[in-house]
Chain A
């Protein structure tokens, strides 16, 4: 019989297998790295319609988080403040500043300021703010050092693994209730955090909630 196939086709199956394995690994590795929340979400810093700086308002002026986000202690939803709340101060401070034109217009006309949504969990996740901030989890754990941000940036991945880190070990993150809204607070040392945290977990009967119904209903 003469050669039906040229010689180089002998190497073809091996080549295909190796290439397929390499491609598969590349796809998996690529997805693992690029399509997880740690990559896709962290660093998201969209341009907001009004250049509100948390650094100025929280660090320099010393405002408490709850002045604007007043629903955070009562509801699952931490609300963006209304335009009239901004005008509480800004009808005097920076009264005519062009950067606040949109806020003034909104408070006057009733058209809301279209803030860009940064921190969002999927619809099948039911997250409740009130139970976290009332039980010793600070804003900084999930939102990063937002008090130092001039423009809000998505600092943590907010993936399920991220949530479980704390749910599995609340003593590593829980802090005295008075320090929840003090975003600059640091524990004296990691061991002190674990020791104090363990005590608080015991006293407050904090549950290590890993069951599905805690967040997915």
Chain B
């Protein structure tokens, strides 16, 4: 039968073809058209036909055409719109990479950003940066969770998009003119009445501009305020040594680390770099390799505490007495009193300050000191940003006297221009001295100390200009609001922690015409150069010199750093005791907290920071690394304190019964210095007693659709005098409950060897302890009759992918979780759905507590699809949507999946995530809405769907930006489809394709080692994840898999996973009072009848095929 395709709708251009059938038959145009549209059918018309026959056929086809015109023929006509002018060097479909940096407070994280079609989609660390170079291996640029999630802020629909004056839209020019006019007006009075408030910044351009402004406006005043400020490190080091320096730590060289309320893995500055150094000190090929030892003293369980070999829980106010006692003993050990005048008095003063320390803590301090003193040059003492200056000074002194200078710590030059504090600004405002206030970023109305009453105080300025990223609480109390550009849209510069200059390069034009701080300052000062690009270039000229400028500038942008621009290392001769000693002994000793006078510790949140990422959906949904809470913050209390308050709710979680993840917790009212807030309680094992841990950054009054209603506002209790540690709080149950959503409600392993660990001493004696903990596999009976097709495939395929995760190096920072979410278009589901265990993270971190709840040991494990060779999920799919490919991946085919969920049922690791609702296309508060009856925005849902099925029902502004954030290489999954980790199959395919394209007419098709990295592997700052080709016996993953510490999780189920773990090795000190001979998880395992010695099954080194050959198909 001749296939006559139905005619297609007429194109936009082209003549109208017919007015009547007769004309149609006779016009040559019709003949021509016929010839073209129906190439095969055209011949039919050359045969003579009768008019009747003609009419019959034509009417039929016109009917079809009529039908076709209304419903569309084959498929709707779609257009391709190419460039009119191809940008040079750009090929559509090939991503471009640009080096930039994420500035955060006084530092920056060097980044390499992947850009598709002129928009950034994924952030990675920049391996070219000197901080990321490795002496013993390939460079690795790690990042952290907050950095990975910062790209979503760029596409935040709630960001400031307009220029406003007193809340009303104004034109951009008008706002900029007003800014320039304010500057000009201030010029007349030499800047009297002009003030600016900014956050900490390492940007040399900003410093240069501020200096120019200071010269132009000698009477103007600059203030700096950061709610969570890390500048104390610099202040203390400067005071200690009498020179403007700040410490820079080389944790990879440290064998003994003492962290005093210093969560350097989680909430200190540049955690990504410190994690890298710390993890390198935990790398163990064999027991004889050097292994570091971490001592942690802290009030609240932090990530650093979970990685500690010894942990002392101590209220934050008691850390100074602790260090005082230790330092005094150190002085005694070193017989300082004999040699240094005034030392004896100082030691006596310290001992006086240490009065409130408990005997247990004293013993701990003493044993710890002995260990530290035995390793001079390999020790580092870290003090956290919450601790007062005295602690930092003593820590710096200890580092100096323990000969850490130039080894575990270097003091680098860090000049800091003078700036006032927010208290001084408040005083100036109260005195009516400020006419024009320019606020650059920040959110002081939300996070300024509560005793300043900042909202009212700020309003005392006559004119307020505010450059802000969101129209938030501060925007409500200002006159002119200027939208800020995201760092991915801005030209700027910054310095990383070592002082190296890095560019902040835009990946995209400002989406909403935002400004950078540089531009605002330049316009305020009436400077000739207002474009940030020119400003940054000018600064670069000052720093790098003017000769060969363009070449150096291009290289600067290409590499992402300026070589040899690190800050100079200063070698202090001695501690400047004349200034340091009085600083240490200044101020009264804070008493230990008690049941009636609780201590409040204000914590920087691991996810939303100080509140700046409050509207970031990925971070809100990221389970807190310790509490696993999402979408809320809670009041952290120790079990004993909870009991004392009467809010200890037995939830069975600690014993190990998983119950509903929607946890109802009692709400507690906290009173501090006349202010009070209410917060839900969270019982935190391992916390110090009589301490209340409050996390900052939640309870925002004016935030976007994501952050609305999340958590309580801890800033309401925070005063300028006690910003981190406050004493004298009272707490009482408020008589109501609050529902919290947590992703992990079972906290016990119940003796199963899921996470395996041993002390170093045990590892030395029993090298294969990890494999000894395997449970025997079930006897599989007779050999299978049919050969396994995968074995044949494994022989011929060029790659066999596998992954190895070193639990000794993984610190639990969750950078991998967010990196995976960013790379694979994983949606967020909202608090209510998280409460039903429907969070979509493909990679999760399981956290278990072992031992008594007052001072437990904590272990973390990243869990992802194990890509089992004998996958339980593959057998049970009724539609064959999950299959095994020839390279060992367990592949998920979304378009085949019908949503039976049998695969998730069968998965023993529970790593499969199901899209219960249309999380991508529906707003999260309308997931349950029926499409048949709902009416939204003046339109019936069905009608809206009919017009455009792909559109979804999110508001247009959200939808437009959401699309930009997606990675085009990965399918965006719909409701009813299962998904799980794919080993970043899109990256594997890209790598294989790139290798084949390079190979061309040759057989060099194997991807080279290190050419492809999964998203989690690339983001991990600890380099804990190894991924590669098992067929290559020299690849890192092959070696890791053959390692003696390697084991498989749930090995006895014989799933033969491609993901293996390396058991953790703890390094406790036998002299310490809290020494455990075996780690508590191993203790629990042994108590449940486990064995540490005995059968040693075959190593995992061989590939599946070879293994099967050996065992005869077993």
Contacts and interface: CB of A to CB of B under 8 A. Distances in A.
Interface of A: 39-49, 70-71, 73-77, 79-85, 102, 106-107, 109-117, 120, 122-124, 126, 128, 130-131, 134-136, 151, 153, 176-177, 200, 203-205, 207, 211-214, 216-217
A71 B891 CA distance: 29
A120 B76 CA distance: 12
A114 B84 contact: no
A204 B74 contact: no
Interface string B864-896: 000000000000000000011111010101111
Interface stretch (B484-492, B933-941, B998-1006, B1039-1047): B998-1006
B92 A75 contact: yes
Given A46-B11, A74-B94, A84-B84, A126 B989 contact: yes
A43 to B, nearest CB: 5
A81 B997 CA distance: 22
A177 B83 contact: no
In this complex, which of B84, B91, B885 has the most chain A Cβ atoms within 10 angstroms of its Cβ?
Answer: B84
A213 B798 CA distance: 15
Contact of A131 (B80, B885, B996): B996
Contacts of A40: 74-75
B82 A80 contact: yes
23 contacts: A49-B12, A70-B91, A74-B997, A75-B93, A79-B82, A79-B91, A80-B82, A82-B83, A83-B84, A112-B83, A116-B78, A116-B79, A117-B79, A124-B894, A126-B989, A135-B1000, A151-B36, A204-B1003, A205-B1005, A207-B1005, A211-B887, A216-B971, A217-B971
B573 interface: no
Nearest to A215: B989
Contacts of B893: 212, 216
Interface in B42-83: 74-75, 77-83
B895 A216 contact: yes
Nearest to A207: B797
A110 B817 CA distance: 42
A40 B73 CA distance: 9
Nearest to A154: B74
A70 B82 CA distance: 13
A120 B13 CA distance: 23
B91 A44 contact: no
Contacts of A124: 894-895, 971
A195 B985 CA distance: 33
Given A113-B84, A131-B996, 7 more contacts: A43-B39, A44-B74, A45-B36, A49-B13, A111-B84, A205-B1005, A217-B982
Contacts of A123: 971
B885 A212 contact: yes
Contacts of B79: 114-117
Contact of B94 (A48, A75, A110, A214): A75
A106 B36 CA distance: 25
Contact of A112 (B82, B971, B1005): B82
Nearest to B1003: A205
Given A71-B91, A204-B1005, A216-B894, A43 B14 contact: no
B859 to A, nearest CB: 33
Interface of A (DSSP majority class): loop
B84 A73 contact: no
Contact of B82 (A46, A74, A82): A82
B980 to A, nearest CB: 13
Contacts of A79: 82, 91-92
B993 A128 contact: yes
B986 A217 contact: yes
Contacts of A112: 81-84
A118 B5 CA distance: 15
Interface in B961-977: 969-971
A204 B1004 CA distance: 7
Contacts of A111: 84
Please tell me the size bucket of the interface on B: 35 or more
B7 to A, nearest CB: 10
Given A110-B84, A116-B79, A73 B1005 contact: no
Closest 8 CB pairs of A and B: A75-B93, A211-B885, A77-B93, A80-B82, A82-B83, A213-B891, A112-B81, A205-B1003
Nearest to A76: B93
B930 interface: no
Contacts of B40: 43
Interface string B28-40: 0000000011011
A75 B82 CA distance: 15
Contacts of A153: 39
A211 B11 CA distance: 40
A41 B74 contact: yes
B16 interface: no
A73 B83 contact: no
Contact of A217 (B3, B74, B970, B1000): B970
B882 to A, nearest CB: 9
Given A74-B91, A115-B79, A134 B36 contact: no
Nearest to A133: B997
B86 interface: yes
Interface string B87-104: 000011110000000000
B8 interface: yes
Contacts of A151: 36
B85 interface: yes
Contacts of B896: 212
Nearest to A125: B895
Given A75-B92, A116-B11, A213-B989, A203 B1000 contact: no
Contacts of A82: 82-86
Contacts of B13: 49, 102
Nearest to B989: A217
B1077 to A, nearest CB: 47
Nearest to B996: A131
B895 A47 contact: no
A41 B75 CA distance: 9
A131 B993 contact: yes
A135 B11 CA distance: 37
A40 to B, nearest CB: 5
Contacts of A134: 996-997, 1000
A39 to B, nearest CB: 6
A43 B41 CA distance: 11
Nearest to B79: A114
Contacts of B82: 79-83, 112-113, 115
A85 B83 CA distance: 10
Contacts of A177: 1000-1001
Contacts of A204: 999, 1001-1003, 1005
Given A117-B79, A124-B971, A211-B883, A47 B37 contact: yes
A39 B40 CA distance: 14
Interface string B571-614: 00000000000000000000000000000000000000000000
Contacts of B36: 45, 47, 151
Contact of B985 (A73, A76, A213): A213
Contacts of B91: 70-71, 74-75, 79
A84 B85 contact: yes
Contacts of A39: 3
Contacts of B885: 211-214
Contacts of B84: 82-84, 106-107, 109-113
Nearest to B6: A40
A172 B895 CA distance: 29
Contact of B11 (A47, A109, A126, A130): A47
A43 B3 contact: yes
In this complex, which of A43, A71, A74, A123 has the most chain B Cβ atoms within 10 angstroms of its Cβ?
Answer: A43
Contacts of A80: 80, 82
A120 to B, nearest CB: 7
Nearest to B883: A212
B796 to A, nearest CB: 8
Contacts of B895: 122, 124, 216
A70 B883 CA distance: 36
